[in-house]
Amino acid sequence: MRIIEGGVCAAKGFTASGVHCGIRASRSKRDISLIFSERKASCAAVYTTNLVKGAPLDVTKAHIADGYAQAVICNSGNANTCNSNGIEIAEQTCQLLAQELGIDANDVVVASTGVIGQKLDINPIRKGIPQLVAELSKSGNANAVEGIMTTDTEPKEIALTFQAGGKTCTMGGMAKGSGMIHPNMATMLVFITTDCAIEPKMLQKALSNDIPNTFNMVSVDGDTSTNDMVTVMANGMADNSLITEDGPDFQAFMKALNTITVTLCRKIAGDGEGATKMLECIVSGAKTKQTAKTVAKSIICSSLTKAAMFGADANWGRVLCAIGYSGADVDVHRIDVAFRSAAGTVEVCKDGAGIDFSEEIAKKVLSEKEIDILVNLNSGDQDATAWGCDLTYEYVKINGDYRT
């Protein structure tokens, strides 16, 4: 496996673009993006668990019920959620794009992100689609990433190559996500493309198996979004043997997918609204996988732990507190805790009790931009990882006037 440039355009047959169409008032911000496959592709998706869902999710779910898609269109600045004509707007968007591309509207994935409960006018989208299609290119991934960003401060994309069926396959992904990030597949918008040949049912299996250990393990603020989903399109243009069942090729595909998703998880966590630090909680020694996941997610979601990390305060008691109320079956008298970063490692808790450590060293360790919270439950051989960020003054500022 090799990391390469190109994002969602790296795989054969995929182009992308992003333009300003007028949904956002600021003309300096692109607000609509397109990903297009020259060949119809297998398609799979996972959606938010929030009962309040954006209209685009319902439309997309219906469109890819047959397991195929050819284009993804996504706007930012307006979530198209809780609108009386939301479905109509989403469907019109697909129809307008399909006409411009010369494809079936049912082969369009549609997504939106931004303010909830604000009416979305179809006219800016109608005017912007011709330009969006005209600007499709193999180098359009950067503009496409920009077009889906809201409070994100940096683009999030990755691409890689891997071997399957005797061929070199390519996979790329892009994501947006900074706030309203919380586990249980309501984390962000993620679009993944690959030229690997894989049946729709196996593509869905790969995505569904990956999500619980990646995107469901990210939390920025504990709020589960209404609009978010992960989609994968696989157009088969690498000409590898079609993946129709489990085996070495499917495992290679899963490994590539996991590398893409973990990278995007880390980027999303590190770019949480107002964040100054990316947190990775690694739990080991658990009785079961679920116990490890529950503990890791509880710690990464703890506002007090997140605030302590912002202040570079080695307040390990907050970590144990989060474990204690997580509901996980653990022996609190066997827990070890340590903090690790590029500045080193400091052990702070052994067998559920505090141990002597240098506050000066701890301060240096916790002052880095990426911090690992290491927890050993010493009760088994299962592990899990969760990702998050610190809680800062800026988070409140951003969300205090989000609409304005």
Pairing type for strands 278-286 and 370-376 reads parallel
CA-nearest of 135, 132, 131, 256 to 193 is: 256
**2-270 and 278-400 share one fold:** no
| Average pLDDT over all residues of the chain | 92
With cut-offs at 50, 70 and 90, classify the pLDDT of residue 114: confident
H-helix segments, 140-237: 141-147, 200-210
Note the residue count of the chain: 404
Enumerate the domain spans of the chain.
2-270, 278-400
Write down the CATH superfamily of domain 278-400. ArgJ beta chain, C-terminal domain (3.10.20.340)
pLDDT for the residue numbered 221:
57
* Catalytic residue annotation: 187
- Fold of the 2-270 domain: L-amino peptidase D-ALA esterase/amidase (3.60.70)
277-318 pLDDT tens trace:
999 999 999 999 999 999 999 999 999 999 999 999 999 999
Whether residue 155 contacts residue 142, with contact meaning beta carbons closer than 8 Å, is answered with yes
With cut-offs at 50, 70 and 90, classify the pLDDT of residue 185: very low
Q: What is the DSSP letter of 352?
A: T
The CA distance from 342 to 263, in Å, is 18
Q: What percent of the chain has pLDDT over 90?
A: 78
With cut-offs at 50, 70 and 90, classify the pLDDT of residue 138: very high
The CA distance from 12 to 6, in Å, is 11
With cut-offs at 50, 70 and 90, classify the pLDDT of residue 182: low
